[in-house]
Amino acid sequence: MNDHGYPHEPTGVDTRKLGMWVFLSTEILFFGTLITTYLIFKGRSFDGIRLEEVYDIPFTSVSSFVLLMSSLTMVLAHNAIEKFDQERTNIWLLATALLGAVFLAGQIYEFTEFYHKGFTLTENIYGSTFYVLTGFHGAHVFIGVVLLIILWGVGQRQKGLSLDGGMNLEFIALYWHFVDIVWIVLFTVVYLI
């Protein structure tokens, strides 16, 4: 899997992998649209509570760090499967899923806190764009966690992932890192700026 040359493919790239990158390209546009919509309303004045009045930067910073570290465990799982080290692959896959679940739990806690403080989905259009943007990101993380657990389960059931299973791991890794880079942008645009 380390050799990316595919002479039998007219494009020189594995078609499935190219398809995954095309999918990620469309996802960039999807989140680009949501971020643009959020930014239209970010600087405007609305009735009701604003995000700046309720958020907790230290808490979100820790969540961001957890998601960043899940990218590390994901890439270590990818590295392990390239060396056919099934045991480490399973450990890193599970660690990635757990870190993703911790991030999700943090987001659910954060949303609950915001809701109790009065910053709700229907408070104003700014609140709506915030919840749609970060909610869709959370949904992507949830899908990623489910995919990781399924892949880990397949590895456990088959006593290790096959070469094809390794390719699936590479696709899930690409998806997971993509979810991470979206959060890198969201953390800065939504919380810090």
Question: Site residues (CB under 8 A) for another protein?
Answer: 2-7, 11-13, 17-18, 21-22, 24-29, 31-33, 35-36, 39-40, 57-58, 61, 64-65, 68-69, 71-72, 74-76, 79, 82, 173-174, 177-178, 180-181, 184-185, 187-189, 191-193
Question: Closer to another protein at the Cβ: 27 or 113?
Answer: 27
Burial class for 3, CB neighbours closer than 10 Å (0-12, 13-18, 19+): exposed
Question: Closer to another protein at the Cβ: 1 or 115?
Answer: 1
Question: Closer to another protein at the Cβ: 18 or 49?
Answer: 18
Q: Nearest distance from residue 22's CB to another protein, in Å?
A: 6
Q: Nearest distance from residue 5's CB to another protein, in Å?
A: 4
Return d(Cα 191, Cα 60) in angstroms, integer.
8
Q: Nearest distance from residue 157's CB to another protein, in Å?
A: 26
Q: Nearest distance from residue 35's CB to another protein, in Å?
A: 7
Helices in the chain by DSSP H: which ranges? 15-42, 51-54, 57-82, 86-116, 125-157, 163-186
**Could you tell me the CA-to-CA distances from 40 to 26, 29, 100, 156, 165 in Å, in that order?**
21, 16, 30, 47, 43
For 187, the token pair is 């953390």
